[in-house]
Amino acid sequence: MSDTFEHLSSAKDAQKMIRYAHEEHIETVWDRLAAQEPQCGYCALGLSCRNCAMGPCRVDPFGDGPQRGVCGADADVIVARNLARSIAAGASAHSDHGRDILETLYQTATGETSAYKITDVDKLKRLAAEFGVEAEGKEPAELAREVAWEMMEEFGMRKEELTFAARAPKPRRELWEKLGIMPRGIDRENVEVLHRTHMGVDNDYVNILLHAVRTSLSDGWGGSMVATEVSDVLFGTPAPINSKANLGVLKADHVNIALHGHNPMLSDVMVRAAQDPALQDLARSKGAAGINLVGLCCTGNELQMRIGLPMAGNHLIQELVIMTGALEAMLVDYQCIMPSVVDVAKCFHTEIISTFDKARFTGATHIPFDPKRGIEIGQQIVRRAIENFPNRGPRVVIPDEPVDMMAGFSVEAIVGALGGTPKPLVDAIAAGHIRGAVGVVGCNNPKIKHDYGHTTLTRRLIENDILVVVTGCAAVADGKAGLMTPAAAEMAGPGLKAVCQALGIPPVLHMGSCVDNTRILVLAAALADYLGVDISALPLAGAAPEWYSEKAVSIGTYVVASGIYTVLGVQPAIFGSPNVVNLLAGGLNDVVGAAFAVEPDPEKAAVLIRRHIEGKRKGLGLPFVEPDTIVMPE
């Protein structure tokens, strides 16, 4: 490794902490990636299968060795089955998260828990109308109980069409109907993937992939949308709010607690527990100046969006934050939590506290979360962290000063900022002040220089007057890079800059966590409906420059299936089947009006996206730049 570590991350705080890890011989994700190399070529191409005990099997990509598994499955079937299973795993993760939040809404409504309240009654009423529940004359609790009860059926088998699918523009819904991919019950689609990919069921790669697309739609227009909407009802619909980001949000003289994972239920009560005067007194009695909660990953995003909770970092920061020596506790719920955090914590005083029975970590303290005793558990955890403060080691390394950023751009907030209608945004796009809009979303992956993919692509897009909306770890990357303040409009092209300055908004809008990619779908549907066209006609694109997770595979698929061209920065494991590649990167255009591209270099990805957006502008009869004249860098 070089001395500077600049090749591993573009974030200054991360570079310093990676160097520190190296000096102290603390193993990180980058060391483990190096130890895994060369990774299995068959698996990387999607050509290995262990779906049954006649295997494991592999298909030789060079044609010299076996071309079929023991059962006779060829490369197309094996690649398609593996991809379908990845999509189902990602869709299931999002949807199970949605179910947990929905259960909490139900328990809140019935009074089984008093830890939460119905915060956004207006949204609850809008949901009631969508789900056919009469709102007139009902108290919020009664209404919430009925809406939650109806919503639970989204997961089952009585519905031919998910309720939220009605939010998609009419031509899109008709297309899904025609293709037989209208999402039905969320659990049904996911279980059906497992059924179809069992040996000897679906052995037609196109048929497998069509169902995989349907399953992803049950995430985007189903499970994830439930998670977003119900979280808004319980915790409030986000509105623009100031916040800060990077490891500098840790405070050396405070008890620091990191909230990591995806489900905001426990973190919400932690925030209230940390404000408890008795616990604050306890912290002072231990020599701390106060209690400082910080976010990581999407649990952090959920809280940053709603209360401006400072954001310590994204996926690849989760080990580094422990190495600051300033973290008394890391509270984890589920998803994207590396088991290695327990090992890193052994070198420091940090206590890793797992909280969901479905997500346990050997070596961590387990305090099972029960929404019925939410506040009590929150207080118990804060107290443990305070008691741990005197155990800090002598060396505390907080590597940077925090950066300002703005969050909270729900669709309601964006439309509100525009004066209650998408018209000003549509007008700005039509006039060419804004060329189009792109969702830059997804993870970090140690195979890509940390944050570089997100920030480089975002910079190039806004420079070219393309509005960027962000979620997940991409949002954290851009926030840390200073791209998410109103002042960052200076970095945008002249058209976008003028629009941002007139509205007082950043050129990069934080739309939330990964389940909140559904907010992007709703915004795209609103723009399409306003213009009376399908989503696929709009100058929009998606990008996941540093993705790693199965959830990202599901997201990318439902975004494409919703009609939005999507560029991936990391190769998915499909290149063992030219037929599958041709379908996903080309053929899908004729099926759903959008397709995938893979481009690891964000400079080149920006060109692909700009060409795509100009092509869509041309299609709509808007002023355009001839796509072929946009030059690809060397």
What type of residue is 347? C
Smallest separation, CB 251 to ligand SF4 (Å):
53
Contacts of 19 (CB under 8 A, 6+ apart): 3, 4, 5
> Within its chain, how far is the Cα of 180 from the centroid?
27
- Using an 8 Å Cβ cutoff, are 402 and 310 in contact? yes
Residues forming a β-bridge with 352: 330
- Quick one: 485 or 549, whose CB is closer to ligand BF8? 549
Q: Is the peptide bond before 539 cis (omega within 30 degrees of 0)?
A: no
- Quick one: 56 or 578, whose CB is closer to ligand SF4? 56
**How many whole angstroms separate alpha carbon 139 and alpha carbon 153?**
22
- Quick one: 262 or 392, whose CB is closer to ligand BF8? 262
Smallest separation, CB 261 to ligand BF8 (Å):
8
- Quick one: 59 or 443, whose CB is closer to ligand BF8? 443
Smallest separation, CB 301 to ligand BF8 (Å):
7
**How many whole angstroms separate alpha carbon 535 and alpha carbon 412?**
19
Which whole-number Å values give the CA distances from 290 to 248, 255, 314, in the listed order? 16, 6, 24
- Quick one: 294 or 473, whose CB is closer to ligand BF8? 473
What type of residue is 372? K
Smallest separation, CB 264 to ligand BF8 (Å):
12
Q: CA Rg, the chain, in Å? A: 24
The listed partner (ligand BF8, ligand SF4, none) that binds 514, CB under 5 to 8 Å by sort, is ligand BF8
The listed partner (ligand BF8, ligand SF4, none) that binds 524, CB under 5 to 8 Å by sort, is none
The listed partner (ligand BF8, ligand SF4, none) that binds 549, CB under 5 to 8 Å by sort, is ligand BF8
DSSP 8-state secondary structure symbol assigned to residue 182: -
Smallest separation, CB 445 to ligand BF8 (Å):
8
DSSP 8-state secondary structure symbol assigned to residue 403: E
**How many whole angstroms separate alpha carbon 89 and alpha carbon 130?**
28
**How many whole angstroms separate alpha carbon 57 and alpha carbon 491?**
51
DSSP 8-state secondary structure symbol assigned to residue 540: E
Smallest separation, CB 207 to ligand SF4 (Å):
16
Smallest separation, CB 271 to ligand BF8 (Å):
19
Smallest separation, CB 72 to ligand SF4 (Å):
7
Which whole-number Å values give the CA distances from 617 to 425, 434, 502, 588, in the listed order? 14, 11, 24, 20
- Quick one: 42 or 452, whose CB is closer to ligand SF4? 42
Smallest separation, CB 54 to ligand SF4 (Å):
4
Chain residues that interact with ligand BF8, rule: CB under 6 A: 262, 297-298, 314-315, 336, 442-443, 472-473, 513-514, 549, 551-552
Q: Which alpha helices (H) appear in 166-242, and where do they start and end?
A: 170-179, 186-196, 205-218, 224-235
Task: Report which of 524, 349, 347 is spatially closest to residue 438, judged by C-alpha positions.
Answer: 524
Smallest separation, CB 413 to ligand BF8 (Å):
21
User: Please, how many CA atoms are within 13 Å of residue 71, restricted to the half-sphere of its CB?
Assistant: 22
Smallest separation, CB 75 to ligand BF8 (Å):
28
- Quick one: 55 or 424, whose CB is closer to ligand SF4? 55
**How many whole angstroms separate alpha carbon 384 and alpha carbon 516?**
32
- Quick one: 57 or 605, whose CB is closer to ligand SF4? 57
The listed partner (ligand SF4, ligand BF8, none) that binds 521, CB under 5 to 8 Å by sort, is none
Smallest separation, CB 315 to ligand BF8 (Å):
4
Smallest separation, CB 89 to ligand BF8 (Å):
12
The listed partner (ligand SF4, ligand BF8, none) that binds 52, CB under 5 to 8 Å by sort, is ligand SF4
- Using an 8 Å Cβ cutoff, are 244 and 405 in contact? yes
The listed partner (ligand SF4, ligand BF8, none) that binds 70, CB under 5 to 8 Å by sort, is ligand SF4
The listed partner (ligand BF8, ligand SF4, none) that binds 57, CB under 5 to 8 Å by sort, is ligand SF4
Long-range own/partner contacts, residues 31-34 (CB < 8 A, 24 or more apart): 32/340, 33/446, 33/447
- Quick one: 434 or 555, whose CB is closer to ligand BF8? 555
- Quick one: 78 or 598, whose CB is closer to ligand SF4? 78
Dihedral of the CA atoms 187, 189, 192, 197 (nearest 10)? -120
The listed partner (ligand SF4, ligand BF8, none) that binds 199, CB under 5 to 8 Å by sort, is ligand SF4
**H/E segment holding residue 128:** helix 121-130
The listed partner (ligand SF4, ligand BF8, none) that binds 298, CB under 5 to 8 Å by sort, is ligand BF8
- Quick one: 314 or 518, whose CB is closer to ligand BF8? 314
Chain residues that interact with ligand SF4, rule: CB under 6 A: 49-52, 54-57, 69-71, 73, 78, 199
- Using an 8 Å Cβ cutoff, are 562 and 172 in contact? yes
Task: Report which of 212, 226, 85 is spatially closest to residue 156, judged by C-alpha positions.
Answer: 226
The listed partner (ligand BF8, ligand SF4, none) that binds 481, CB under 5 to 8 Å by sort, is none
Q: Is the peptide bond before 578 cis (omega within 30 degrees of 0)?
A: no
- Quick one: 51 or 224, whose CB is closer to ligand SF4? 51
- Quick one: 207 or 589, whose CB is closer to ligand SF4? 207
Q: In 300-435, which ranges are E strands?
A: 311-313, 329-332, 351-354, 365-366, 403-407
